[in-house]
Amino acid sequence: MTSDPVRLGVVGLGRAFALTAPAFAAHPGVRLVAAAAPRAESRRAFETAFSGRTFESVEALCADSDVEAVYVTTPHGMHRDHAIAAARAGKHVLLEKPIAVELDDAEAIVAACESAGVRLIVGPSHSFDAPVEQAAKLIRSGELGRVRMVQALNCTDFLYRPRRPEELRTELGGGVIFSQGVHQVDIVRLLCGGLATSVFARTGAWDPERPTEGAYAALIDFAGGVFASLTYSGYGRFDSDGWQGGVDELGRDKDPGLYGAARRALGAADDETALKAARSFTSMAETPAASHHEHFGPIIAFCEKGDIHLTPDGIEIFGDERRETRPAPFRTARAEVADALVAAVRGGASPLQTGRWGLASLEVCHAMLESAESGRPAALRRQIGVPS
Amino acid sequence: MTSDPVRLGVVGLGRAFALTAPAFAAHPGVRLVAAAAPRAESRRAFETAFSGRTFESVEALCADSDVEAVYVTTPHGMHRDHAIAAARAGKHVLLEKPIAVELDDAEAIVAACESAGVRLIVGPSHSFDAPVEQAAKLIRSGELGRVRMVQALNCTDFLYRPRRPEELRTELGGGVIFSQGVHQVDIVRLLCGGLATSVFARTGAWDPERPTEGAYAALIDFAGGVFASLTYSGYGRFDSDGWQGGVDELGRDKDPGLYGAARRALGAADDETALKAARSFTSMAETPAASHHEHFGPIIAFCEKGDIHLTPDGIEIFGDERRETRPAPFRTARAEVADALVAAVRGGASPLQTGRWGLASLEVCHAMLESAESGRPAALRRQIGVPS
């Protein structure tokens, strides 16, 4: 493992990059050297912030021989083309969740990366959050016996954040199942060992103005008789962050005065696409200053000898006779994603969140929709376990 | 409606009566006039506290012509005999939840009460808690549009409270499904309109020393496309009361020093049955002093125009742009059960929690076990709606 920073190129300079850029900027093992984006404004912002090269096209970025790895953070429907272009150019790939919308697109991405001999990491995803890894490690250690049940709840304003039209169309990967469910599934799979066997789910699309899934409840079976209950609402009302110390998903102490802000901003906007563009990467100064880990709502793992509550600062363990808090050291938000990238590219280490892992989580998302449609449990066939 | 108090006889002077006695003692519309219990110690305690008559047998109590209504609070397996004895003697019946263990026993109880022309109320149950009724009324008012999803979680030390042997045998009505699930089902049915159509569930029996269900997760479908997710653990570790203002199930501010107390007491006891007997009714002085409503864990109703969180003090409404708290006036714990008894006996009013309502909730409990066994959703056929 050398000390040369990984030379990272970025495809797509939208909201996801704005939220992840601080982790790369702060990490000694990563250097942001290039980016591709269609909007000139975004390219200028990248050049100013990182003194990097920019390109209008993904192809041009992939032809840049200085780039070792490509972070693909374009809309879901473009993941296949962009990830495969990077792989074929011999670049390692860090690919935003979900890996893709369609399972065959995900298969094609995995195959292209395997065939090119490059690493594929699906992330950032909340399964990288340090308290999640901390809880998963504790479970694997056996200290609390086997995990038997997991309960996960998250309530956000997801549906009222500004959206492009396709983000409100399920068949194009819109709605909360693909963008948010995949986080919850990723976390729950990690805690439960990965090998989901079947899913039973109900979904809700309750706002005719935004006619895609905004909520769901699901029960997932795992190998070994473990089961997990997942509930999500993106309708921006009940605030489950109140049960997470008042810390928001991005690890910031929440301002109660901002209750309803997403809906208000959307209601006041003439042009939703413009409102969305305004949330793209503009400078490092506008990135949120987190003081806690990111989180995805209150999650409890019920084990044979104790329960674990994942918090934005670590984990709480509820034993037979006492409670205990174990903090997870905080550096910068998403530092763990940068760690995984460096370990994969420089150390040859395989992250948990490989392409096949991301494909398995995507399969669960599709199975949720299938079960909600059929009224029956949906079987799963592409699951992989957590490596021991 | 006259002002004469309802003359109530009690069958069984165990823990359930100890918890309900204060509501009757404080209510101007109820007078505790008689009781039947096998233990002389319990009978003496009742005589001392209420200057009432006592009997060794249920038959003798039912032959007491001064008794107008009988509160049956004996073990689940005795409900059928005791409720039918009371009905045949022409007494109105207040019957502890669950109405019975077996559905045919429940049917027989309902038929006996209908045939005798007496009122049957199944309770106390947490569906009587004032915040539950407040939330249900708000939903019925239409102010927040239709309810679409409900999320209910409760974590208690149920499995480690002292038990008689049959309370740890599922086939005899032991375990959390019949004793605890029925509360959660009652509440959720009330919020969702009552007409459950199908249940999908997973159960857990994870302590070989106490080999009955201690946990479950379930998804319940209701008429109109409403669905509810229920999770329960009675293994006494994660404390969901922390999300309910630190108030325990009985409406008392919780002492953090009592964490793990049930398990410790059980571990230290030589004789579990004796430990249980010690929790029976002994005097009014030992009943807990509640300062909030009873509750059954955090419950959220997601409606079209706002979400409702049920708290021990009322409800919190999460609207599009603001949050609002609506308190529910508190008198004494379980005052609402006494209200319902008086309204039924003196006013001829039918409570929500009739025998047929209790039968429907019991059916859901059986369906949870059936679904967990079969791996498929279980259909429901005996459901009734909430009267409008």
Assess whether A181 and A253 both reside in one domain. yes
For residue B384, tell me if it sits in a domain: no
Q: b vs e for A352-365, b when ≥16 Cβ sit within 10 Å of the residue's Cβ?
A: bbbbbbbbbbbbbb
Query: Which positions of chain A have pLDDT values less than 50?
Result: 1
pLDDT band at B2 (very low <50, low <70, confident <90, very high): low
Give pTM, 2 decimals: 0.97
In sequence order, the β-bridge partners of residue A220 are A199, A228
**Residues B218-241: tens digit of each pLDDT:** 999 999 999 999 999 999 999 999
Residue among B148, B221, B239 minimizing CB distance to A206: B148
**Residues B86-116: tens digit of each pLDDT:** 999 999 999 999 999 999 999 999 999 999 9
Chosen from B156, B176, B231 to mutate, greatest number of chain A CBs within 10 A: B231
Chosen from B147, B176, B238, B321 to mutate, greatest number of chain A CBs within 10 A: B238
Assess whether B223 and B272 both reside in one domain. yes
Segments of B223-330 assigned E as strands: 227-233, 299-303, 307-311, 314-318, 323-327
Assess whether A50 and A28 both reside in one domain. yes
Residues A304 and B206: their CA atoms lie apart, in Å, by: 7
Instruction: Inspect the interface and report whether the beta carbons of B219 and A217 lie closer than 8 Å.
Output: yes
Residues B219 and B221: their CA atoms lie apart, in Å, by: 7
Give A15 to chain B, closest Cα distance, Å. Answer: 24
For residue A388, tell me if it sits in a domain: no
pLDDT band at B284 (very low <50, low <70, confident <90, very high): confident
Q: Which chain A residue has the Cα nearest residue B242?
A: A243
pLDDT band at B259 (very low <50, low <70, confident <90, very high): very high
Residue among B221, B307, B320 minimizing CB distance to A260: B320
Residues A14 and A281: their CA atoms lie apart, in Å, by: 6
pLDDT at A1: 47
Q: Which chain B residue has the Cα nearest residue A374?
A: B377
Instruction: Inspect the interface and report whether the beta carbons of B259 and A153 lie closer than 8 Å.
Output: no
Assess whether A70 and A146 both reside in one domain. no
Instruction: Inspect the interface and report whether the beta carbons of A260 and B202 lie closer than 8 Å.
Output: no
Q: Tell me which residue range forms the domain holding B111.
A: 6-126+333-354
- Neighboring chain B residues of A214 at a CB cutoff of 8 Å: none
Residues B334 and A121: their CA atoms lie apart, in Å, by: 56
pLDDT at B285: 76
Instruction: Inspect the interface and report whether the beta carbons of A229 and B229 lie closer than 8 Å.
Output: yes
Alpha carbon of B224 to those of B78, B139, B227: distances in Å? Answer: 37, 14, 9
Residues B326 and A13: their CA atoms lie apart, in Å, by: 45
For residue B179, tell me if it sits in a domain: yes
Q: Do the bridges between strand B227-233 and strand B323-327 make them parallel or antiparallel, or are there none, so unpaired?
A: unpaired
Coil/strand/helix, residue A181? helix
For residue A387, tell me if it sits in a domain: no
How is residue B110 written in tokens?
Answer: 């309902």
Residues B280 and B42: their CA atoms lie apart, in Å, by: 8
Instruction: Inspect the interface and report whether the beta carbons of B259 and A321 lie closer than 8 Å.
Output: yes
Assess whether A258 and A318 both reside in one domain. yes
Assess whether A106 and A167 both reside in one domain. no
pLDDT at A289: 84
Assess whether B192 and B278 both reside in one domain. yes
Assess whether B64 and B109 both reside in one domain. yes
**Residues B337-383: tens digit of each pLDDT:** 999 999 999 999 999 999 999 999 999 999 999 999 999 999 999 99
For residue B1, tell me if it sits in a domain: no
Assess whether B171 and B29 both reside in one domain. no
pLDDT at A2: 55
Greater confidence, B120 or A1? Answer: B120
Instruction: Inspect the interface and report whether the beta carbons of A320 and B377 lie closer than 8 Å.
Output: no
For residue A384, tell me if it sits in a domain: no
**CATH (domain of B71):** 3.40.50.720
Q: Which chain B residue has the Cα nearest residue A228?
A: B217
Provide the number of structural domains found in chain B.
2
- Give residue for tokens 């045998």: B169
- Classify burial at A40, counting beta carbons within 10 Å of its beta carbon; exposed 0-12, middle 13-18, buried 19 or more: exposed
Assess whether B257 and B187 both reside in one domain. yes
Closest by CA to B25, choosing from B2, B48, B56, B42, is B48
Assess whether A179 and A112 both reside in one domain. no
For residue A301, tell me if it sits in a domain: yes
Assess whether B256 and B272 both reside in one domain. yes
Residue among B233, B320, B323 minimizing CB distance to A263: B320
**CATH (domain of B167):** 3.30.360.10
> Phi, psi (5° rounding) for residue B262?
-65, -45
- Give residue for tokens 């200028």: A44
For residue A385, tell me if it sits in a domain: no
Give the number of beta-carbon pairs within 8 Å between A and B: 132
